[in-house]
């Protein structure tokens, strides 16, 4: 890859769509119902809407938006816990920008900041560690979020804090794992998924082998996909090709980034610092066994949940909010009763309308994209 334009070529997109249409025409399932393919990652969801991919595909293919947005699946109770930490008088609470506006039951971190809490946006946990270094008289807490993609950076920061003896640094750990989540979705009786577009960034860390159970035990093909329009179209074609040939495999479309065995150094750091929780609460999906991580006992002094009093409350989402159904793929964002009315990016009721990877935010921003903008004049 020399230039990103290579992965946004309209001519190549049309060729891929024609090949997908040919496979759809031969698929007997498509005569009874649409094929349901889940894109696991919120980054895929945004690309799909930004580039009008859903409108370009045959009607016999239905894309289901998955739970691969870590801010979106954060339950309201954990947001409340973060706000409680931020309101501690001696704490500098640091977080990524897209978590600032996620609503808690009382307020968001942005509202807590407006009321006087010392909440600061950072771009990495190392930024938070630098604040701890610069403010030895204050406690600095980092709001650790994300799947396996961001776990290594948090783990390496904890190791750096240990090496430097910075005991005024702590992590409020909300890291989650993708594999138990996919299993929970596959075990749901209401799901009729036919295949998956696997998450590219997570796979960059964990590799492709962890997904093997999806093909082996559930008989569903999975293709790890990149995020550009041609990446996604090629991945859909690869899934359709497997279905056409009666195969169920894990394939890696994103080979330019994702190594087959993942990143050994990153995995080693994660294994050293974190251990699995017995269970973790997910917005819309409930409690999923072994789906979250916490710091090992050896690093307890960097664990905000052990250093400070955290309420650990379980808070139900507002009744009007249907984030849970959207996260499970049961409804589309536009089918939510409050989408675009009571719930907008300016006045969000749920996290899916806030996060840069949220399905509702993607539909709200790009849902009216004209196909002429994608394929050019005179195209279907």
Helix (H, G, I), strand (E, B), or coil: what is residue 99? helix
Q: Supply the pLDDT for residue 1.
A: 55
- In the chain, the N- to C-terminal Cα span, in Å, equals 29
**Closest residue by Cα to residue 270 from 175, 378, 357:** 175
What DSSP string describes 326-338?
Answer: HHTTSS-GGGSTT
The string of pLDDT tens digits covering residues 84-133 is 999 999 999 999 988 898 888 889 999 999 999 999 999 999 999 999 99
Contacts with 314 (C-beta within 8 Å, 6 or more apart), sequence order:
75, 77, 281
Domain ranges of the chain: 1-73+178-258+317-380, 76-176+292-307
pLDDT of 3 over the 80 cut: no
Q: Average pLDDT, whole number, for the chain?
A: 89
Q: Supply the pLDDT for residue 2.
A: 64
Q: What DSSP character marks residue 138?
A: S
Cα 171 to Cα 154: distance, rounded to the nearest angstrom: 8
Helix (H, G, I), strand (E, B), or coil: what is residue 360? helix
Six token digits for residue 274: 């974190």
For the CA atoms of 128, 132, 138, 139, the dihedral, rounded to the nearest 10 degrees, stands at: 60
| Topology of domain 76-176+292-307, CATH | Rossmann fold (3.40.50)
Cα 130 to Cα 166: distance, rounded to the nearest angstrom: 10
Q: What angle do CA 283, 285, 287 make, to 5 degrees?
A: 90
Helix (H, G, I), strand (E, B), or coil: what is residue 258? coil
The string of pLDDT tens digits covering residues 24-62 is 999 999 999 999 999 999 899 989 988 999 889 999 999
Q: Supply the pLDDT for residue 278.
A: 92
Q: How many C-beta neighbours within 10 Å does residue 94 have?
A: 26
Which is higher by pLDDT, 255 or 366? 255
Residue 368 binned pLDDT confidence (cut-offs 50, 70, 90): low
Q: Quick one: 87 exposed, middle or buried, by C-beta within 10 A (0-12, 13-18, 19+)?
A: middle
Q: Supply the pLDDT for residue 378.
A: 43
Contacts with 257 (C-beta within 8 Å, 6 or more apart), sequence order:
200, 204, 226
Cα 324 to Cα 350: distance, rounded to the nearest angstrom: 9
Element (H, E) at 15: helix 10-26
Q: Which of 6-20, 202-216, 240-254, 281-295 has the lowest mean pLDDT?
A: 281-295
Q: Assess whether the region 1-73+178-258+317-380 and the region 76-176+292-307 belong to the same CATH fold.
A: yes
**Closest residue by Cα to residue 372 from 6, 12, 9, 10:** 10
- Indicate the CATH number of 1-73+178-258+317-380 among 3.40.630.10, 3.40.50.11750, 3.40.50.2300, 3.40.50.11140: 3.40.50.11750
Mean pLDDT throughout 297-315? 88
pLDDT of 379 over the 50 cut: no
Query: Residue written as tokens 């390496």?
Result: 156
**Closest residue by Cα to residue 47 from 63, 59, 24:** 63
Phi, then psi, of 152 in degrees rounded to 5: -60, -40
Q: What DSSP character marks residue 301?
A: G
Distances from the Cα of 9 to the Cαs of 200, 228, 241, 338, in angstroms? 21, 10, 22, 36
Cα 143 to Cα 97: distance, rounded to the nearest angstrom: 11
Mean pLDDT throughout 141-153? 96
Mean pLDDT throughout 250-257? 97
Six token digits for residue 9: 């070529």
Cα 291 to Cα 206: distance, rounded to the nearest angstrom: 15
Q: Supply the pLDDT for residue 377.
A: 46
């Amino acid at each position: 890859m020399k230039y990103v334009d290579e992965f946004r070529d309209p001519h190549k997109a049309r060729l891929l769509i024609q090949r997908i249409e040919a496979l759809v025409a031969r698929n007997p399932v498509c005569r009874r119902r649409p094929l349901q393919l889940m894109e696991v990652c919120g980054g895929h969801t945004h690309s799909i809407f930004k580039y009008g991919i859903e409108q370009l595909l045959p009607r016999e293919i239905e894309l289901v938006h998955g739970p691969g947005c870590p801010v979106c699946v954060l339950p309201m109770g954990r947001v409340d816990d973060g706000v409680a930490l931020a309101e501690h008088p001696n704490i500098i609470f640091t977080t990524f920008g897209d978590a600032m506006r996620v609503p808690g039951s009382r307020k968001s971190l942005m509202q807590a900041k407006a009321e006087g809490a010392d909440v600061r946006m950072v771009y990495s946990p190392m930024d938070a560690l630098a604040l701890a270094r610069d403010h030895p008289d204050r406690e600095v807490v980092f709001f650790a979020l994300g799947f396996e993609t961001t776990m290594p950076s948090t783990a390496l920061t904890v190791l750096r804090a240990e090496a430097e003896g910075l005991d005024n640094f702590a992590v409020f750990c909300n890291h989650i794992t993708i594999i138990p989540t996919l299993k929970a979705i596959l075990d749901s009786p209401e799901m009729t998924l036919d295949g998956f577009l696997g998450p590219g960034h997570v796979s960059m860390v964990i590799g492709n082998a962890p997904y093997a159970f999806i093909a082996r035990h559930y008989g569903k093909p999975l293709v790890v996909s990149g995020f550009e329009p041609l990446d996604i179209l090629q991945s859909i074609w690869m899934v359709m090709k497997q279905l056409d040939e009666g195969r169920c495999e894990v394939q890696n479309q994103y080979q330019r980034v994702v190594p087959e065995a993942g990143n050994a150094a990153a995995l080693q750091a994660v294994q050293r610092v974190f251990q699995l929780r017995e269970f973790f609460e997910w917005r819309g999906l409930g409690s999923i066994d072994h789906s979250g991580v916490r710091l090992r006992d050896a690093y307890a002094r960097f664990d905000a949940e052990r250093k400070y009093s955290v309420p650990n409350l379980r808070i139900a989402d507002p009744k009007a909010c249907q984030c849970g159904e959207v996260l499970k793929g049961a409804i589309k964002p536009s089918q939510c009763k409050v989408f675009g009315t009571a719930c907008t990016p300016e006045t969000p009721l749920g996290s899916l309308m806030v996060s840069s990877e949220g399905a509702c935010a993607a539909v709200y921003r790009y849902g009216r994209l004209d196909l002429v903008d994608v394929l050019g004049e005179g195209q279907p």
